[in-house]
Amino acid sequence: MKIKSQLLIIFLLISLIPIIVIYFFSINRFQDVVKADHGENFQRLAEEKAAWIDYVISERIADAKHLAANKELIRAVTLANEKYNSISNKEIGKKIRSIDEDWIERKGKTKIAKEILGSKLSLSLRDFQESEVEKYGEIFVTDKRGATVAMTKSLTDYYQADEGWWQGSYFGGKGRVFLDYRGFDKSVGGVSLGVGVPVIKDSVVIGILKFNNRINEILSIVGEKGDKKSRDNFILDTHGSLIAFAGKEEKFAPTNFEKELVKRGGSGWAEEAHSTRDVLLAYAPIKSDIYERIQSQEAKKGISGEGWELAKWFIFVEVDRDIAFAPVREISGSIFVMSAMMMAFIIVLAILIARGIARPLEKFTKSAEKIGRGELTHKIEFSTNNEWGILAKAFNDMAENLANTTVSRDQLAEEVSERKIAEEALKIKDSAIENSINAIVISNIEGCLTYVNPAFLDMWGFENPREVIGRYLADLVKDPNELSAVNEKIELEGRWVGELTQKRKDGTFFEAQLSATIIKDKKGHRLHQMASFEDITSSKLAKRALEASMERVANAQRIAHLGNWEWNVKTGKIFWSDEIYRIFGFEPGEFIATYDKFLESINPKDKERVLLAVEGAINKKGNYSVDYRTRGRGGNIRTVHEDGRVIFNKAGVAEKMVGTTLDITDRKLAEVELRKAKEEAERANAAKSVFLSSMSHEIRTPMNAIVGMSELLAETSLNKDQKAYVDTFKRAGAVLLNLINDILDLSKIEAGHMELDEVDFDVYECANNVADLFITIAAEKGVRIKVEKTKDVPRFFRGDEGRLGQILTNLVGNAVKFSKTGVITVKVDISGEGDFEEGKTRLLFSVEDNGIGISEEKLETIFEEFTQADTTTTRRYGGTGLGLTISKKIVSLMDGRMWVKSRLKEGSIFYFTANLKASELKDTQVLPSDALGLSELPLNLIGVKVLVVDDSKTSSTILIGLLNGYGMECTWATTFSEAAWKIRAETKKGTPYKLFIVDSKLAEDNDYDVIKRIKKDSALKDGVIVMLFSDSRLVDIKSARGMGISDYIVKPLKKNKLLRIVDKALRRAGFAGGEKPKHLEATKNTLKILLVDDSSDNRFLIEAYLKNSPYSLEMASDGVEALEKFKENSFDLILMDMEMPVMDGYEATKEIRLWEKSEGLSHTIILALTAYALKEEAKRSISAGCDGHVNKPVLKDTLISVIERYRQGIKN
């Protein structure tokens, strides 16, 4: 802390603390004095007021006494007393009470009252009262018995001796003055103080005179000298009751403290804290004895009259403490102001003193600092002669002495310094020459060397200067004649710069850059010659290397027809490599390239485009690439590709542009050729596709007839040979049809015409349906097919179920075809590959077999068209070799890929992925087509009415033939008008058609009239429309569905396919089944059926169902019994309940399959019986080895249809 601040603080502390202490002490003291003074003054005031009130009361008493001594009054009273002398005391009492009662009852309006009021004495008293009306409210007189003798106004009663004041005055006949205070008195018209005095005659009390005084005067004394704003004056009696009050409070109530003071008695002063304010009060007693009417205990209990009690009055003078102490506040304010002023004065004084000390100190400090910095001539200015002045003088003397000694030392240093600098400069020069990279030599005028630097020794290969000093420069060059010529030039021009070949000590040569000068004296005489050499051998070599490199670049550019350029945007200067000149049709270096020249070189048709590219690159701060044609000298127009890059400075302004220009004329020509070739190839391919598809179409038409008719023919009664022939051409037809279908699919995919359907479908059902297709064929080979479910894969997706099924059919079909034993596993899982798409799932399907496998070298080609793993394969296993190709292409359409892992003789796994949309259906929901829960079984179609609308007789014949086979009632219409007519007729009959199969070509030709008509007709709202296409290329699924068409069939018509589509379409429309079969078709092929069921009810029932059938039935009540019977007999079909005691159906089926295998028996059809089977249970039964299942409770028709369906298989 600075001295100045410290001084300031000390001064302030010393002066301020006493001031503050004195201030508070004096204020307190003053307050005490004021308080005592006020208290005593107020006490005096209270005592004065009390004395005054006593005086007023005594005056009234005196007045009363004076009147009581009046002779007239005494006489009148005497007379009144004498009136009763003749009557006994008892009678007197009675009479007086009688008069009193009458008086009270008539409210003083009796005769006697009037007489008294009109008596002389009464008139006199009234005169007296009215003369002092301010003092006296009422005056009356009684006789010695208390009976009223005279009165100034009518009294309320006649008899007064029963009242306290009367008894107090009468005082047992002794008589005395009796003051009574009764608060507000109606008869007086204000607060009243009664004065009762005895009327005495001959020292005997003969009556009582009563003055009821108005005490306004007393009240005014209370208030007198009281300032309403500052003081409260009041009278309290000894009971603490407030008698009178004069002050500022509206609702004054005495405090307990004040009541307590009254009880103590005497006079005094005190301080009191009221609830709202603090006061200073003084009090003094009034001496007069005043009686106050009190309610006696009896009176309180309501038994009898009133009592009187002596009460002392006290007068209080009370003032607010704030007001009392106002002078104290005033004085304390003044003291405060004075103290503050004194403090301010002290602070100023302290500051001045501190500054007086601190300033010279600062001055000395600054001066010392200056001298410290070397300003030795500095002097302190101090004019005073005090201690500061003496100190300043001593300081200045000291500085002066210091200055004198310091100056001489600087001069010395300066001289030393100059000498040192000169020596240093000389050393630097020496060092520079000695350390110079260049060789430096000094020779005399004759050329004899006098000095060489170390670089010279290095350059020429000498080790010691002595080796060369004294030798001539001519000895050290390759050609002394050349040196002579140089010397002549030096002689002439004074200096020479050039290249000269030098000769080293070892005789080798090197190129050196030489600069030589003549050193002259001041008079211009030549003294020496100095030369500096720089070895330029390496830079010469580098230059030659650069030239070679540039030549190579130039050659490369020439060969590649690629030139580079650089354009300085600011200066407009352009550099062109030689090749650029050539590309633009000029000779290299024919002119200096400029930007204008560049623009001229561009073909006018392309110029604008090039400029836009260049400007774009500059504006967008990027690169540009542009192809354009040159103007071409002599018609030699070239096409070039130019890449440019703009180089910007730090400010972002384009500085220059660099780039390359490539002659692509030849490449362009080649591209055109290539495009032409590609278009040619595409045309050829398209032609091939058209050819294939039209060929297929042409084949398909007769095929329709062949296949359809063979299906029909197979339904007729044929002998064994005939059946074999029909089967052969059915098979051949099927092979041909497959081939055509595959070719069509392929051409459709290649032509980009294949569109995928998008419907909700159950992915497991799709896989299971495929597995079901092959289950019988596989079982015959001893191969099992299982579909494995993966937990996380949802059931439902949106996509093309048919195409997915086609891929799986191909893969499972191949697996069955190429397997002899084992299990084929179809798995569905989530694929981890590919990009995730919102709302889509990429599924991974795999089909694994234990078949013949594929060799490594064939793995790559199996997806190619018309390729199978082995040429022998086709012969042995059949197939077109298109299946995998088509499958792979469909997979691509599903945004997936297909691949295979395989080992020869061990088996193959085919994988494929498909990106499918998520379905809104939940796993627990069922597809509309599944709603019946009997989807595994074909619908009963007997009696279902069908209208076939087709103009082709062959097609219609086959169609109707096949449908009739299912018991359907078919009608044929060749035209749309005929169809409309038939629809109308049948609807009218109340037997509307249920199913419409419409030829697509005919429908198209007629603008789909019939379809619109069917859709409009409410009677046909449940009708199902199936469209018949002759060519799959024509199928437009989306439009067909949009029109309300349920499904479609592509010709040729095959029985199974037709049934499947009709069944599916009818199910979708909510159709549950046709009429019950009227009779069971008798058949010669009796089947042996084994029924295994633990429920006798079921056994009886099925027995009843099959009673009249051509089937023979045997029964077993559990798995063990079934197995025994199976081992002993052969059966065509087993109906197996799955839930049984002892051995259940699953176990029994497995055992049967094992037995068949071990004994080499053929596959027996086993149908599972399950009660309201869940799909999982159905699958479980299939896994156990069952061929199908029937839901319990099983109905007769269903059972017979199922048995019939399998009977066909068994027969075949």
Is position 1172 an interface residue for other proteins (rule: CB under 8 A)? yes
Kindly state whether residue 650 participates in binding other proteins, applying the rule CB under 8 A: no
Quote the CA–CA distance of 180 and 682 in Å, as a whole number: 146
Query: Does residue number 1139 form part of the binding site for other proteins (CB under 8 A)?
Result: yes
Terminal-residue alpha carbon distance, the chain: 123
- Candidates 1062, 1192, 1203, 1207: give the one binding other proteins (CB under 8 A): 1192
Nearer to other proteins, 746 or 1122 (CB): 1122
Q: Which is nearer to other proteins, 181 or 1146 (CB)?
A: 1146
Q: How far is the CB of 1193 from other proteins (least distance, A)?
A: 4
1101 binds other proteins per the rule CB under 8 A: yes
Closest contact distance (angstroms) between CB of 1100 and other proteins is 4
Among 759, 1019, 1171, 1210, binds other proteins (CB under 8 A): 1171
Please state the separation of Cα 1066 from the chain's center in Å.
52
Reference 955, options 915, 1008, 1001, 987; nearest CA is 1001
Binding piece for other proteins, criterion CB under 8 A, among 488-496, 695-703, 714-722, 1097-1105: 1097-1105
Q: Smallest distance, Å, CB 1210 to other proteins?
A: 24
Is 1095 near other proteins (CB under 8 A)?
Answer: yes
**Burial 248-284, CB ≥16 within 10 A → b, else e:** eeeeeebbeebeebbeeeebbbbeeeeeeeebbbbbb
What does the alpha-carbon distance between residue 724 and residue 722 come to, in Å, rounded to a whole number? Answer: 5
Part in contact with other proteins (CB under 8 A); list of ranges 472-480, 709-717, 799-807, 1098-1106: 1098-1106
Nearer to other proteins, 724 or 1104 (CB): 1104
Which of 781, 820, 775, 787 lies closest to 1166, judged by CA?
775
User: What are the distances in angstroms from CA 1029 to CA 698, 976, 1026, 1058, 1062?
Assistant: 14, 17, 10, 13, 15
Strand-pair category, 242-246 with 231-237: antiparallel
Residue 1107 binding other proteins, by CB under 8 A: yes
Nearest CA among 819, 824, 782 for reference residue 905: 819
Tokens 């040192």 belong to residue:
420
CB closer to other proteins out of 142 and 1109:
1109
Least distance from C-beta 1109 to other proteins, angstroms?
11
Sheet strands side by side (includes 1024-1029): 969-973, 945-949, 995-999, 1024-1029, 1047-1050
Q: Residues 441 to 460: which contact other proteins by CB under 8 A?
A: none
Query: What phi and psi values does residue 632 have, to the nearest 5 degrees?
Result: 75, 115
Torsions phi, psi for 10 (to 5 deg): -65, -45
DSSP E strands in 386-437: the ranges are none
Q: Give me Rg for the CA atoms of the chain.
A: 73
When the beta carbons of 317 and 1140 are compared against other proteins, the nearer one is 1140
Task: Give yes or no for a contact between 72 and 125, defined as CB atoms under 8 angstroms apart.
Answer: no
Within 13 Å, how many C-alpha atoms sit on residue 228's CB side?
6
Q: How far is the CB of 867 from other proteins (least distance, A)?
A: 53
Q: Distance between CA atoms of 942 and 963, rounded to whole angstroms?
A: 10
Say if residues 1122 and 1145 touch (Cβ distance below 8 Å): no
Contact (CB, 8 A) for 617 and 644: yes
Nearest approach in angstroms of CB 1101 to other proteins is 5
Q: Rule CB under 8 A: say whether 1196 interacts with other proteins.
A: yes
1072 CA to centre of own chain? 53
Question: Least Å distance between CB 991 and other proteins?
Answer: 24
Tell the smallest beta-carbon distance from residue 1021 to other proteins (Å). 28
| Least Cβ distance, residue 1103 to other proteins (angstroms) | 8
Binding to other proteins by residue 1193, rule CB under 8 A?
yes
Look at residues 957, 1027, 1030, 948 and name the one whose alpha carbon lies nearest to residue 993.
948
Q: Residue 1100, interface with other proteins (CB under 8 A)? A: yes
Closest distance to other proteins from the beta carbon of 1108 (Å): 7
Q: Select 374 or 1193, whichever has its Cβ closest to other proteins.
A: 1193
Residues ≥6 apart with Cβ < 8 Å to 499: 511, 512, 513, 514, 536
Give CA–CA dist 456/511, Å, rounded.
14
- In terms of CB distance, is 473 or 1102 closer to other proteins? 1102
- Contact segment (CB under 8 A) with other proteins among 65-73, 211-219, 980-988, 1186-1194 equals 1186-1194
Interface with other proteins by CB under 8 A: which range of 189-197, 909-917, 1030-1038, 1191-1199? 1191-1199
Instruction: Count interface residues toward other proteins (CB under 8 A).
Output: 19
Q: Give yes or no for residue 737 binding other proteins (CB under 8 A).
A: no
Q: By C-beta, is 424 or 1103 nearer to other proteins? A: 1103
Note whether 864 and 928 are within 8 A (CB).
no
- Does 1108 interact with other proteins (rule: CB under 8 A)? yes
Residue type, 837: E
- Name which of 717 and 924 has its Cβ closer to other proteins: 924
Binding-site member from 1097, 1128, 1159, 1212 for other proteins (CB under 8 A)? 1097
CB of 1102 vs other proteins, minimal distance in Å = 8
384 binds other proteins (CB under 8 A): no
Shortest Å, Cβ 1079 to other proteins: 13
Task: For the beta carbon of residue 221, count every other beta carbon within 10 angstroms.
Answer: 24
Shortest distance (Å) from residue 1168 CB to other proteins: 13
For other proteins, the closer of residues 144 and 1192 by Cβ is: 1192
CB atoms within 10 A of CB 431: 10
d(CA 656, CA 654) in angstroms, rounded, equals 6
Judged by CB under 8 A, the residue of 542, 653, 1104, 1174 near other proteins is 1104
Paired tokens of 809:
């059919």
> What is the spatial distance between Cα 1198 and Cα 1206, in angstroms, rounded to a whole number?
12
Return the SS3 of 1079. coil
If the CB atoms of residues 76 and 1190 are measured against other proteins, the closer one turns out to be 1190
Q: What is the C-alpha to C-alpha distance for residues 219 and 233, in angstroms, rounded to an integer?
A: 10
Minimum Å gap between C-beta 1203 and other proteins is: 15
Q: Are the C-beta atoms of residues 217 and 137 closer than 8 Å to each other?
A: no
User: Closest approach of Cβ 1095 to other proteins, in Å?
Assistant: 5
Indicate the residue among 1062 and 1102 with the shorter CB distance to other proteins.
1102
Q: In this structure, are residues 933 and 957 in contact, taking their beta carbons and an 8 Å threshold?
A: no
- In the complex with other proteins, the residue whose CB is nearer, 814 or 1170, is 1170
Q: What are the start-end ranges of the H helices in 641-719?
A: 665-715
Name the one range near other proteins by CB under 8 A: 39-47, 445-453, 582-590, 1192-1200: 1192-1200
Q: Which of 532, 557, 1098, 1201 binds other proteins (CB under 8 A)?
A: 1098
Least distance (Å) from other proteins to the CB of residue 738?
42
21 is an interface residue for other proteins by CB under 8 A: no
Residue 1079 binds other proteins, judged by CB under 8 A: no
Does 1195 engage in binding with other proteins (CB under 8 A)? yes
Whats the size of the chain, residue-wise?
A: 1212
Shortest reach from residue 1169's CB to other proteins, in Å: 8
Q: Which is nearer to other proteins, 60 or 1099 (CB)?
A: 1099
8-state DSSP, 329: H
State which residue, 362 or 1075, has the beta carbon closest to other proteins.
1075
Q: Measured from the CB atom, is 955 or 1098 closer to other proteins?
A: 1098
The residue ranges that bind other proteins (CB under 8 A) are: 1095, 1097-1098, 1100-1105, 1107-1108, 1139, 1171-1172, 1192-1196
